[in-house]
Amino acid sequence: MSNLIQALKRMPGLGPKSAERIAFHILRIPQKDAKALAFSILKVKERIKFCSRCGNLSEEDLCDICKDSNRDRSIICVVEQPNDILAVEKTSAFKGLYHVLGGALSPLDGIEPQNLRIKELFGRLKKERIKEVIIATDSDSEGETTALYLADRLKRTQIKVTRIAFGLPAGTNLEYADEVTLSNAIEGRRNL
Ligand SMILES: [Zn+2]
């Protein structure tokens, strides 16, 4: 039992209390449910790898998005992690391709351009007929640093570079918005 709690505690976002609660829950569920859970963990480790082109999660060499001939191949959305792709896909607002960097620049933590999939991105820009790159890194300082770095390097190409606008969550009152969010919302404004 303590092995299980220890293992769960190492999961992102799980503190000791939640780890214990999940461990006791697992103890109570039927044998077949516990087996199914263990099996799905093993299966994910065995079968899921990274797409050789965009870095998305995939069961094959190329992911479903890279293989999909209905996607717009002239536009690439650059994100930090594969789960960012899921978030953008849920909106159905984007029908182009993706490129996963595998993180964001953070010189203090030793994360330099060569630690991210930036070389791979520029390799794609040379080979594929890309007209626009949307930089959709996070709006924290690492994400902003990464966006500026990429925008600067892309200036030398013919490719249009855009940054997603970060605005107010739906349903927020202006008076409760923090300054950074509000100033990003104003900067990212578009024509009506
Ligand atoms: Zn892919």
**pTM over cut 0.75:** yes
Give the CB-side neighbour count of residue 35, counting CA atoms within 13 A.
Answer: 3
Q: Residues 73, 36: one domain?
A: no
- State the CATH number of the domain containing residue 87: 3.40.1360.10
Distance 71 CA to ligand 1 centre (A): 12
Rounded-to-integer distance, Cα 89 and Cα 76, Å: 13
Is the pLDDT assigned to residue 132 strictly greater than 90?
yes
Mean pLDDT value across the chain:
91
Distance 81 CA to ligand 1 centre (A): 12
Alpha helices in 14-138 (DSSP H): 16-28, 31-47, 64-67, 82-91, 118-127
* Mean pLDDT, rounded, for 35-41: 95
The residue with tokens 């349903």 is 171
Distance 83 CA to ligand 1 centre (A): 13
Is the pLDDT assigned to residue 98 strictly greater than 80?
yes
**Contact between residue 184 and residue 139 where contact means Cβ atoms under 8 Å apart:** yes
**Looking at residue 14, what is its pLDDT?**
86
Distance 56 CA to ligand 1 centre (A): 5
Q: What residue numbers bound the domain in which 37 lies? A: 2-47
**Looking at residue 13, what is its pLDDT?**
83
**Looking at residue 173, what is its pLDDT?**
82
100 phi and psi angles, rounded to 5 deg = -95, 125
Is the pLDDT assigned to residue 104 strictly greater than 90?
yes
- State the CATH number of the domain containing residue 38: 1.10.8.420
Q: What is the pLDDT of residues 144-189, one digit of tens each?
A: 999 999 999 998 888 999 998 888 777 778 888 788 888 887 888 7
Rounded-to-integer distance, Cα 119 and Cα 144, Å: 19
Distance 8 CA to ligand 1 centre (A): 30
The answer to whether position 23 is within a domain reads: yes
- What own/partner pairs with CB < 8 Å and gap ≥ 24 does 50-53 have? 50/82, 50/100, 53/124
* Mean pLDDT, rounded, for 86-112: 92
Cβ neighbour number for residue 13 with a 10 Å cutoff: 5
Is the pLDDT assigned to residue 191 strictly greater than 90?
no
The answer to whether position 103 is within a domain reads: yes
Give the CB-side neighbour count of residue 114, counting CA atoms within 13 A.
Answer: 1
Q: Residues 124, 77: one domain?
A: yes
The answer to whether position 52 is within a domain reads: no
Cβ neighbour number for residue 62 with a 10 Å cutoff: 14
**Looking at residue 134, what is its pLDDT?**
94
**Looking at residue 167, what is its pLDDT?**
80
Distance 88 CA to ligand 1 centre (A): 14
